[in-house]
Structure 1
């Protein structure tokens, strides 16, 4: 089902756009859809590493203080709050693009332009002489990367509403995403070593922009729609205006925030983790406190609520108090994977492995094992109940954490390193695939992008906050204690599964 068809069926919208007129175009074939989401996953995975792991390495090479680098790591929290602007993606069209390609593809194309220009800006400020400027472009890159994911997730759920249809598309998307992680994590660093950081960011920017011309060449949203060239020119012009406005608003907000932080006496020596945690939990706590009132609402009452709140009120109304168990489950399920990603590389380095061995482990071994895990997770999701596939995922994710205890206590050898990474990445890939399918089955077809953004954002909120304190945790309990704990947190999700599998959505009478 297309976005236009959903709007015509009565989903909240900003009014019928020209693309809502006439007969819908045929959906892409399954093979083309898999190829498209493979490419979209690749395009989303590349920029994530460029404002995250690669940026922190770039800053450290320029001698930036480790505490300041830690502050830059908080940029990875931005995707957690994608629910704040996801309703805009659900409700409004991008001028020009939407008239020809529809709402979802319009937002994907706008996001592609945002990613490309943000990364080009990061390339030409790669000397990091102005850290506020570096932070501005990194935040913009994170924002547009996340917006791309919101639009692509919403389109995916609309095109494939059942579990059996979702699984292969999810697998293709994750294959692309994890391939991009290797390309950005190792490829960009190698390019920077051969040339410089400017060239590295430009190369990745061009690679991340690859889906744009393919999307522009696709069929229109509605059969008989004409004026591809005009729609493209109008869309690019409107996109440049939107991108400029977002950049200006972000710059002004950032300046105000820095001024407020300095006025409050915050500095690089201040422990901001409790402050960030408190602020991050506020919107979710507000939703939980509102549950009793939401639960008493009559069916369809969310349609009379503001466009921002309607998707989330509808989600909490359908699941009621069971939503608290769902949120607890999703916050635990990927905990071990996020924590392991934070300290696995320092562990390998301290265990005595060479850069060449780490490069092989982080490249060929990690990619092949991860893809195998994604493939198995996607395949089993079409043949088993989600309860069983999620349980297997919790076990494999925990094993991927615990195997690093064996590595830490073993003499350095390629076999130990490659085996450990393969087990870790296989479990990570499998758990990631079944988890995406599970979240996709929770959302309403009327609000797929916004509701998926809320659930997936919450899933990584607590893990990414704790990851910021992972160094302190390792200092207190050692590497073996850290990976024992991270694996136990992932495994703990299995104890919530008896509740999760019994959760049923309320159906309006």
Structure 2
């Protein structure tokens, strides 16, 4: 790939993140910060209620596990949202005076409210779940679309006064708070008020998201001329690459729709997890990696916009499609050059140390073989769903503090190291907890937990979860800040959606092999492998830090 001069609009991603607690003080006088907190809450609440609390209601209503499995596919919208992310930037404002971003937010939030109210009015215990399934699917689609718009808004409104690092942390604090309320809080409410009332309350709480939208400033859209100036390569090459990308995306959309139709019409329903593990890499390869390679080809061939001698420019409609779909990847590949390999490696490996063993968490906590811990559902509800979420929120806060004090890349590297190391806490539990037990005896932590009537086995698990979730929250804050800074403001919708989809889907790879490993060698071996995978992320973080430092020096020499 050819090396191109970095435009001023892209230099911001290469600048060191603003540091100092003075930034925090100044930012909390800005309405953008409050809006970000409320929008984060608006993103987290439907996630918790549609993908967790709803399943609990169905189980409580006596709905069969097979039927509940039919609804598992609604989670695919979040994993593959990059497929419709260009529409966020392609369409004009739906509500003229509100602007493009806020119009989309209001539309998505109203649809989510309608979906939650429809679910509240359903009666899953009677066996009629068609209306409920449709509402859940519509709500999940609207929630994923809302995520695209919120991520784009965060990238576009960030500046030196309210840096993207801080906005990313505030977003996650709002998201996790909503997850706690919509998860554990909703279960408590359901015991007292019933499931229908709980979902009505959830719909009402979405009003906080609407409030966030109303107080959020509308970012200035990038001029069409500025986007057009980013076109490089001959029109013919651009259109050939666009055609290939559209075909790949059409195939990916067909695969998703076919799975959804099959899930609703075949008994037993296929597993969304198996679909993601089997077809997810192929869909990402065809819909992300192939277009990225074509974008790299366009950059390598070079050439500024405008028809090559004797070659006509493409029709305006096709140029608009190119600007919305392929131009974000071309811009990214042109800006990163061969550094894209490092960035891709970092994105693919950063959260895999946690994501790869996530589905095995509850079997590990509640099972009785292979080093599993044998805890009850009530104990896990306390340790993981309540205490664990609070520890994640604490980790996010620490991550946000670190971003302001030690900077983005130092925080990213530290988060990767902590995430890898805390897998060893789980390994120790699987081996009988000799290290954790000794530490808790020496530190008298057993006595502290005993004051709350928590026994020694559960206390050991809660300590390990505290370490794991604080590290995960810290790493998550740094990772979202890094991805946000990596995205160009002109193309944030597509670029960030692609980044997050890659990070989500990579965790599905290798889970089948890990399951077999657990059967033969127990859980401890799995946690050792997860820790080593985390070391790979640490290496990529160090390489990316070196790359960014060298790029900044080059820019300083040029200026």
Question: How does the TM-score come out when normalised to structure 1?
Answer: 0.77
2:401 is aligned to 379
Deviations 1:299-335 (A, max 9, x none): 5689773422222222222223332331221111111
- The total of aligned residue pairs comes to 453
Deviations 1:194-222 (A, max 9, x none): 34332232222221332214533667889
2:203 aligns with one of 202, 205, 223:
205
1:311–1:451 CA contact under 8 A, matched in 2: yes
Residues 50 and 329 (structure 1), Cα distance of their counterparts in 2 relative to 1, 3 Å cut: same
Q: Are 2:412 and 1:390 equivalent residues in the alignment?
A: yes
Q: Distance in 1 between matches of 2:421 and 2:387?
A: 17
SS at match of 2:324: coil
- Equivalent runs, 1:81-100 vs 2, <5 Å: 81-96=80-95, 99-100=96-97
- Equivalent runs, 1:436-451 vs 2, <5 Å: 436-451=480-495
Deviations 1:436-479 (A, max 9, x none): 11111111121122211111221111114656887566445432
Residues 113 and 480 (structure 1), Cα distance of their counterparts in 2 relative to 1, 3 Å cut: same
1:194 aligns with one of 192, 195, 213:
192
Per-residue deviation at 1:163?
10
SS at match of 2:375: coil
Which runs of no fewer than 5 residues in structure 2 stay unpaired?
A: 1-8, 10-25, 221-253, 307-317, 368-372, 438-455
Per-residue deviation at 1:425?
1.0
1:316–1:323 CA contact under 8 A, matched in 2: yes
1:174–1:433 CA contact under 8 A, matched in 2: yes
SS at match of 1:95: coil
Structure whose CA Rg is larger: 2
2:70–2:264 CA contact under 8 A, matched in 1: no
Question: How does the TM-score come out when normalised to structure 2?
Answer: 0.71
Task: Give the CA RMSD over aligned residues.
Answer: 3.7
1:370–1:425 CA contact under 8 A, matched in 2: yes
- Equivalent runs, 1:126-141 vs 2, <5 Å: 126-127=123-124, 129-130=127-128, 133-141=131-139
Q: Distance in 2 between matches of 1:104 and 1:140?
A: 20
Per-residue deviation at 1:261?
7.9
SS at match of 1:90: helix
SS at match of 2:406: coil
Q: Distance in 1 between matches of 2:278 and 2:389?
A: 35
Residues 355 and 144 (structure 1), Cα distance of their counterparts in 2 relative to 1, 3 Å cut: same
Per-residue deviation at 1:75?
3.1
2:104 is aligned to 107
Residues 208 and 379 (structure 1), Cα distance of their counterparts in 2 relative to 1, 3 Å cut: same
Q: Distance in 2 between matches of 1:433 and 1:468?
A: 29
Q: Distance in 2 between matches of 1:84 and 1:62?
A: 35
1:182 aligns with one of 180, 183, 201:
180
2:384 aligns with one of 336, 342, 362:
362
Q: Distance in 2 between matches of 1:269 and 1:390?
A: 34
Q: Distance in 2 between matches of 1:443 and 1:269?
A: 33
2:469 is aligned to 425
